[in-house]
């Protein structure tokens, strides 16, 4: 199939392109990116992207697709449908499934299901420890052979520092990073951020140091063994300051944050709406400002969603009993455009955090519009206003604190390997 995308503002950070151009796709790959491409007119589809942006398909390095085991929350089919609607053409899915993705048969299952049911590319993340129990390393080598691109016990930290050290040393063989969910479980016995909001609501709280002590420990161990570490869903000022300092000394540290951590504060939890319950918790205004500054100055490399779909019943309970997580794939692009509208990031830097940077950190040959590369392309409108309606989500997870919000910026078309997988109506 040949597709010509005309007159869009092409944003390709990897290749240093930001200008009005055409993109020509042929046989699943990018053929040309240039001004005024003249063709023989044999293309099946000509997309007029005037006034819109054209970018490499976004890469989400942190999603929960819930398959196998929790298909009532999400499955690969619905999760990847939500992904392409949101502008993502590649996702990395976490290992906290049932069974846990801690051996090659689960990894192979996910890869196979993704080929069959997936609207976009899916790369599994393997567990660091068997059953996420923190006791014994999982079958990392086998899983690597079957297609994992990282390991993580996401949902919790690896409490045993010796085990974490071994995992960090072991993955050097494969040059894949350890993704660290930074949370000291002994310090983390609550449900909302420790601060003004928790004092008012009276809910048990989680202090920022619960995250920061593990950020510092994990970076220290990674540096000690000269391995790569990626810190995920960072939420506090202290974490960003620690990463900023550590990066000056040691180059193999990267990190991400999520749209809810630069959009909402813990004040959102005051109404006891369980859709605001997420782990790590929404933090103070000061933390949110520090996250935005970390995005601006490059301390934070990547924006990921931590797409954590849950069934309504697990949110329709008291705050302390509710599941943690936000269904994020269908609002991430729009919420992140807020960083552009607020002057935090220009469009090329914003796109870089969804494309070039995640591709580099996880060694994926995507996230760029280089001729010869797979044609994973999106067309988005950074200005269009729309109202979030959870009932229109393609994800099974309708759990969003953004229902009813007016946001500016929306994905319009998603192309995966030269095939149109989503088009906004
Ligand atoms: O809020 C969260 N939900 N944080 C996590 O770390 C895990 C995730 C989930 O799996 O639901
Ligand atoms: Zn996590």
Would the CB of 97 count as within 6 Å of ligand 1?
no
Q: Which domain holds residue 99?
A: 58-361
Residues 48 and 175 in one domain: no
Q: Across residues 97-101, what is the average pLDDT? A: 98
Q: Are 417 and 374 in contact (CB under 8 A)?
A: yes
Q: Across residues 396-414, what is the average pLDDT? A: 98
Q: Are 364 and 120 in contact (CB under 8 A)?
A: no
Would the CB of 195 count as within 6 Å of ligand 1?
no
Ligand 1 pocket, mutate which of 279, 304, 315, 397 (most atoms under 8 A from CB): 279
Q: What is the pLDDT of residue 296?
A: 98
Residues 49 and 62 in one domain: no
Residues 269 and 401 in one domain: no
* Cα torsion 300, 265, 407, 272: sign: positive
Residue nearest to atom 3 of ligand 1 (CA): 325
- Summarised one tens digit per residue, pLDDT across range 30-81 is 999 999 999 999 999 999 999 999 999 999 999 999 999 999 999 999 999 9
321 lies in some domain: yes
**What Å distances lie between residue 161 and 96, 127, 151, 244, 315, CA to CA?**
20, 16, 16, 23, 33
Whether 174 shows a pLDDT value over 90: the answer reads yes
H runs (alpha helix) in 129-281: 140-146, 161-170, 196-201, 208-224, 237-249, 259-263
Distance from residue 145's CA to the centre of ligand 2 (Å): 24
Write down which residue in 324, 339, 361 finishes a domain: 361
CATH classification at residue 152: 3.20.20.140
Distance from residue 346's CA to the centre of ligand 1 (Å): 30
Tally of domains within the chain: 2
Residue nearest to atom 7 of ligand 1 (CA): 155
Helices 104-117/76-86 angle, 10° precision:
60
Would the CB of 64 count as within 6 Å of ligand 1?
yes
Residues 103 and 160 in one domain: yes
> Is 256 noted as a catalytic residue in this protein?
no
Identify the nearest ligand to the CA of 324 by its number. 1
Q: Across residues 140-153, what is the average pLDDT? A: 98
Residues 379 and 259 in one domain: no
Identify the nearest ligand to the CA of 180 by its number. 2
Q: Are 256 and 226 in contact (CB under 8 A)?
A: no
Q: What are φ and ψ of residue 174, in 5° steps? A: -105, -5
Ligand 1 closest atom vs CA 277: 1
Write down which residue in 340, 361, 382 finishes a domain: 361
pTM, two decimals, is 0.98
300 lies in some domain: yes
Residues 121 and 15 in one domain: no
Residues 124 and 255 in one domain: yes
368 lies in some domain: no
Q: Across residues 299-316, what is the average pLDDT? A: 99
- Write down the catalytic residue from 306, 342, 346, 389: 306
11 lies in some domain: yes
Smallest Cα–Cα separation from 382: which of 101, 129, 64, 55? 55
Residues 117 and 33 in one domain: no
Q: What is the pLDDT of residue 425?
A: 86
**What Å distances lie between residue 58 and 134, 167, 331, 407, CA to CA?**
32, 29, 13, 19
99 lies in some domain: yes
CATH classification at residue 408: 2.30.40.10
Residues 117 and 260 in one domain: yes
Residues 410 and 378 in one domain: yes
Whether 102 shows a pLDDT value over 90: the answer reads yes
Residues 153 and 141 in one domain: yes
126 lies in some domain: yes
Q: Tell me the pLDDT band of 18, cut-offs 50, 70 and 90.
A: very high
- Summarised one tens digit per residue, pLDDT across range 215-273 is 999 999 999 999 999 999 999 999 999 999 999 999 999 999 999 999 999 999 999 99
Q: Tell me the average pLDDT of the chain.
A: 98
Distance from residue 235's CA to the centre of ligand 2 (Å): 11
Which helix (DSSP H) or strand (DSSP E) does residue 9 occupy? Answer: strand 2-12
Write down which residue in 361, 395, 415 finishes a domain: 361
Rg (C-alpha) for the chain, rounded Å, is 20
* Cα torsion 146, 150, 153, 158: sign: positive
Residues 133 and 62 in one domain: yes
């Amino acid at each position: 199939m040949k597709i010509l995308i005309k007159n869009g503002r092409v944003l390709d950070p990897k290749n240093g392109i930001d200008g009005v151009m055409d993109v020509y796709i042929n046989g699943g790959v990018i053929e040309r990116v240039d001004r005024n491409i003249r063709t023989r007119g044999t293309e099946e589809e000509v997309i007029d992207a005037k006034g819109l942006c054209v970018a490499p398909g976004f890469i989400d390095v942190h999603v929960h697709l819930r398959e196998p085991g929790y298909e009532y929350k999400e499955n690969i089919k619905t999760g990847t449908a939500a992904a392409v609607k949101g502008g993502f053409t590649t996702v990395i899915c976490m290992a906290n499934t049932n069974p846990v993705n801690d051996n090659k048969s689960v990894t192979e299952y996910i890869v196979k299901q993704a080929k069959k049911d997936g609207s976009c590319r899916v790369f599994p993340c393997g567990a660091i420890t068997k059953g996420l129990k923190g006791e014994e390393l999982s079958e990392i080598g086998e899983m690597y052979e079957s297609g994992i691109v990282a390991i993580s016990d996401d949902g919790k930290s690896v409490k045993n520092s010796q085990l974490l050290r071994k995992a960090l040393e072991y993955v050097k063989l494969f040059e894949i990073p350890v993704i660290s969910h930074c949370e000291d479980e002994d310090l983390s016995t609550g449900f909302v951020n420790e601060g003004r909001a928790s004092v008012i609501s009276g809910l048990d709280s989680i202090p920022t140091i619960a995250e920061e002590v593990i950020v510092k420990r994990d970076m220290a161990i990674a540096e000690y063994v000269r391995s790569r570490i990626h810190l995920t869903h960072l939420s506090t000022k202290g974490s960003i300051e620690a990463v900023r300092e550590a990066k000056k000394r040691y180059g193999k540290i990267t990190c991400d944050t999520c749209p809810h951590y630069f959009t909402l504060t813990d004040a959102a939890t005051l109404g006891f709406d369980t859709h605001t319950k997420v782990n790590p918790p929404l933090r103070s205004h000061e933390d949110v400002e520090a996250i935005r500054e970390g995005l601006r100055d490059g301390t934070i490399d990547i924006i990921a969603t931590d797409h954590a779909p849950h069934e309504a019943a697990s949110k329709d309970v008291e705050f302390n009993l509710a599941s943690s997580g936000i269904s994020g794939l269908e609002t991430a692009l729009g919420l992140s455009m807020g960083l552009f509208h607020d002057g935090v990031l220009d469009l090329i830097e914003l796109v870089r955090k969804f494309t070039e940077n995640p591709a580099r950190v996880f060694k994926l040959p995507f996230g760029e519009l280089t001729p010869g590369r797979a044609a994973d392309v999106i067309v988005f409108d950074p200005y269009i206003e729309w109202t979030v309606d959870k009932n229109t989500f393609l994800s099974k997870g309708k759990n969003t604190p953004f229902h009813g919000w007016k946001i500016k910026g929306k994905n319009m078309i998603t192309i995966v390997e030269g095939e149109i997988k989503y088009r906004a109506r």
